[in-house]
């Protein structure tokens, strides 16, 4: 059980936070979600309207250069929450937004407000950098938090008792994508580049370590810069077979364009931070043929009725299908919903309940170890083909198209 005894000051905070369960008489919903989709099997089962509600926070990028990843998470969570609220449960959920813009500094400044707003749980923080800086405040306040996307492997080594994530970390993703690069792609020499972020550098370091001496050159770009010509020149001189980039889609799009404009033809590979249609929209023809990894699962047409219902509900609500981390956002929300359905409404009780959960999520089985890591997970590869992202499957069997 991860909800261990804490100091008296923290208990005082928890007592205050439990007041976040407030009488409201019914119709709460996400801040800006619109109409609720039809009931979801994964989230239904309310016990009848009791006229109370809890606040759950969404903490992640809703604005900024890589906002789409946060939007995907929030919308996935809303599908679960709206369906739950529509089932007339005893305790409804109000989803409150905390827009970090993907900036660790902004996340840090928002964290005290999250605590003072008496939320009983947080879906997020989304990115690894903001998780590193904001989670300590959530931890001190005793607020359970579930990230749908932060993959830096070191996050789970902080001894946090209220932190969880619903996807495998970079110690799983890095070796998996490295194996794909040196296996099916047949690369003998690999340039490994990062964006200096907590996420991008962490993932690139694992990839480089896995590849070993064949990882050369090893370099970084400044994500705020527009000119990456220095790194492009290094790569062109080294003439690698493949390039792995650790970072987010906005800079990845600029980077791959400059690589192709600079005459570099090596295969371009990146991780989950680049796995978004906006990478293709920004990179245009230069993005064609790129390979993208993720320990997340893209919800596509499925024989599983629960997955297909999620896809249908999401598409009905937003006019587009689920994207990167949407399914993980749904599963993070579902974990909180299951706690409420079990009668747990205080942050402490919810956190204790999370440590006992073991259910089939939309994305993958959800069960945590004592560090907040999933007990299972794999790496899935994707390829940009004809301007779209297509799934290649588990990295162990994935083949380039």
List pLDDT tens digits, range 280-322.
Answer: 999 999 999 999 999 998 888 788 999 999 999 999 999 999 9
- Look at residue 42 in the predicted model and tell me its pLDDT: 32
171-294+380-394 matches 52-168+299-367 in CATH topology:
yes
| 164: enclosing H helix or E strand | strand 163-165
Question: Coil, helix or strand for 199?
Answer: helix
* Number of other residues whose CB lies within 10 A of the CB of residue 88: 15
**Strand-strand pairing, 359-360 and 365-366:** antiparallel
Q: What is the largest CA-CA distance in the chain?
A: 68
- Look at residue 297 in the predicted model and tell me its pLDDT: 87
Statement: the pTM of the whole predicted model exceeds 0.85: no
Q: Give CA–CA dist 352/339, Å, rounded.
A: 9
CATH code of 171-294+380-394, in short, is 3.40.50.2300
Residue with tokens 């320990």: 295
Supply 193's token pair. Answer: 């580049």
Domain boundaries, the chain: 52-168+299-367, 171-294+380-394
- Look at residue 51 in the predicted model and tell me its pLDDT: 58
Residue numbers of the chain with a pLDDT score lower than 70: 1-51
Tens of pLDDT, residue by residue over 224-261, are 999 999 999 999 999 999 999 999 999 999 999 999 99
Supply 62's token pair. Answer: 């809703």
Q: Give CA–CA dist 271/375, Å, rounded.
A: 21
- Among the listed residues 225, 176, 227, 220, the one whose alpha carbon sits nearest the alpha carbon of residue 199: 220
Would you say 196 and 251 are in contact if contact means Cβ atoms under 8 Å apart?
Answer: no
Q: Give CA–CA dist 144/124, Å, rounded.
A: 10
CATH code of 52-168+299-367, in short, is 3.40.50.2300
- Among the listed residues 195, 300, 291, the one whose alpha carbon sits nearest the alpha carbon of residue 251: 195
Three-state SS across 49-116?
CCCEEEEEEEEECCCCCCHHHHHHHHHHHHHHHHHHHHCCCCEEEEEEEEECCCCHHHHHHHHHHHHH
């Amino acid at each position: 059980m991860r909800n261990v005894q804490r100091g008296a000051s923290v208990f005082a905070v928890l007592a205050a936070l439990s007041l976040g369960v407030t009488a409201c008489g019914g119709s709460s919903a996400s801040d800006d979600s619109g109409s609720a989709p039809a009931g979801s099997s994964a989230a239904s089962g309310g016990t009848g309207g009791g006229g109370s509600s809890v606040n759950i926070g969404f903490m992640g990028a809703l604005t900024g250069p890589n906002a789409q990843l946060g939007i995907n998470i929030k919308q996935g969570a809303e599908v679960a929450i709206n369906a739950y609220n529509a089932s007339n449960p005893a305790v409804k959920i109000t989803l409150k937004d905390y827009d970090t813009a993907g900036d660790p500094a902004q996340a840090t400044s928002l964290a005290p407000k999250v605590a003072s707003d008496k939320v009983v749980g947080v879906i997020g923080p989304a990115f690894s950098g903001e998780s590193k800086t904001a989670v300590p405040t959530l931890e001190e306040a005793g607020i359970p938090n579930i990230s749908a996307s932060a993959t830096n492997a070191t996050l789970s080594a902080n001894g946090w008792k209220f932190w969880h994530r619903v996807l495998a970390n970079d110690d799983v993703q890095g070796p998996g994508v490295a194996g794909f690069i040196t296996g099916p792609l047949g690369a003998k020499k690999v340039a490994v580049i990062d964006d200096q972020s907590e996420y991008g550098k962490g993932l690139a370091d694992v990839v480089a370590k896995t590849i070993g001496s064949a990882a050369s050159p090893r370099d970084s770009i400044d994500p705020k810069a527009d000119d990456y010509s220095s790194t492009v020149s290094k790569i062109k001189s080294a003439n690698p077979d493949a390039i792995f980039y650790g970072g987010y889609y906005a800079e990845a799009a600029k980077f791959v364009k400059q690589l192709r404009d600079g005459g570099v033809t090596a295969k371009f590979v990146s991780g989950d931070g680049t796995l978004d249609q906006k990478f293709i929209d920004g990179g245009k023809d230069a993005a064609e043929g790129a390979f993208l990894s993720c320990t997340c699962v893209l919800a596509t047409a499925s024989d599983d009725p629960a997955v297909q219902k999620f896809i249908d509900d999401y598409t009905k609500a937003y006019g587009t299908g689920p994207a990167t981390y949407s399914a993980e956002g749904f599963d993070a929300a579902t974990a909180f919903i299951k706690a409420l359905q079990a009668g747990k409404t205080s942050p402490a009780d919810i956190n204790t309940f999370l440590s006992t959960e073991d259910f089939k999520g939309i994305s993958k089985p959800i069960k945590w170890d004592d560090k907040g890591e999933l007990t299972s997970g794999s790496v899935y590869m994707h390829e940009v083909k004809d301007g779209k992202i297509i799934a290649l499957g588990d990295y162990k069997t994935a083949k380039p198209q």
